[in-house]
A = this chain, B = another copy of it.
Amino acid sequence: MHAPAELADIAADVLARIRDRSPRVHCITNTVAQNYTANMLLAAGAVPSMTISPEEIVSFVAGADALLVNLGTFDEERRRAVTIALDAVATARMPWVLDPVFIERSPGRAAFARELLARGPTAVRLNATEFGPLFGGDPADEAAARVAEACGTVVALTGDSDIVTDGAQRAVIANGDPLMALVTGMGCAGSALVGAALAVETDAWLATNAALIVLGVAGEVAAAATHGPGRFASWILDALHSLDRATLRAHIKVS
């Protein structure tokens, strides 16, 4: 069990390490979210790459420090790219994040997400509607802990509050702002930040918490200065870019 102040400091440490080490995060993500995800990683201090070409993805993954697998805009080519990338990840023993976007809308996508889950993601970030199709059952607190333990992964169930659990430990993060839900790709970008955090922090539960705390607090800072989703989308990048330890400590809401 970590006190909020302690988690704020860990988030600040992880962010400092991202800025210092500039980890490379390779993102297999949907075309809707690519640009915003890349800008989010850059604002945090990480280096994004985005190719999904099966021909060259091994080279890119080999040069990366973490991988994001986002299932938005799922198709045959994407599936092939993911499979090849995960083989490379296994060889390199690199952390990777699964983001099973919209699997509740498409049975084929859900089935593929379950296959990927079996390959052992370091963390899974998803929302309540995606929980059932991936894990079965309702997205309750205990269910998240149970599946996290069973799958040997960190589960980050995001929504009004974010639950982060690896089965043994659990945090509920109440940071963030409703405007975040009005920016397309915000969740996808959050998953990419989890990837960046995993690249610099080997404790996957702490890394996942750190990434979501950082993003949530940046969202609160941005929301204090803007009132619409258009400006907010830019302002949160700026808040992330200049986020400091004092702001993290002042804003953190974790239980």
Contacts and interface: CB of A to CB of B under 8 A. Distances in A.
Given A50-B32, A229-B237, A233-B230, A39 B183 contact: yes
Contact of A233 (B54, B109, B234): B234
A237 B228 contact: yes
Interface stretch (A71-79, A152-160, A163-171): A71-79
A53 B32 contact: no
Copies in the complex: 3
B235 A39 contact: no
A255 interface: no
A51 B72 contact: yes
Interface in A32-84: 32-36, 38-39, 42-43, 48-56, 59-60, 63, 72-78
A106 interface: yes
Interface residues of A, number: 56
Interface in A206-251: 226-231, 233-239, 241-242
Given A72-B51, A237-B229, A38 B43 contact: no
Nearest to A33: B35
Given A42-B184, A51-B74, A53-B75, A234 B237 contact: no
Nearest to A53: B75
Nearest to A241: B228
A227 to B, nearest CB: 7
A228 B31 CA distance: 24
Interface string A78-111: 1000000000000000000000001001111100
A36 B106 CA distance: 24
A56 B106 contact: yes
A43 B73 contact: no
Contacts of A39: 182-184, 229-230, 233
Contacts of A176: none
A60 B106 contact: yes
Given A32-B50, A53-B75, A184-B38, A238 B242 contact: no
Contacts of A75: 51-55, 77
A30 to B, nearest CB: 7
A195 interface: no
17 contacts: A35-B184, A42-B183, A51-B73, A51-B102, A52-B75, A55-B74, A55-B108, A56-B106, A59-B108, A60-B106, A227-B238, A227-B242, A228-B239, A228-B241, A230-B237, A231-B238, A234-B234
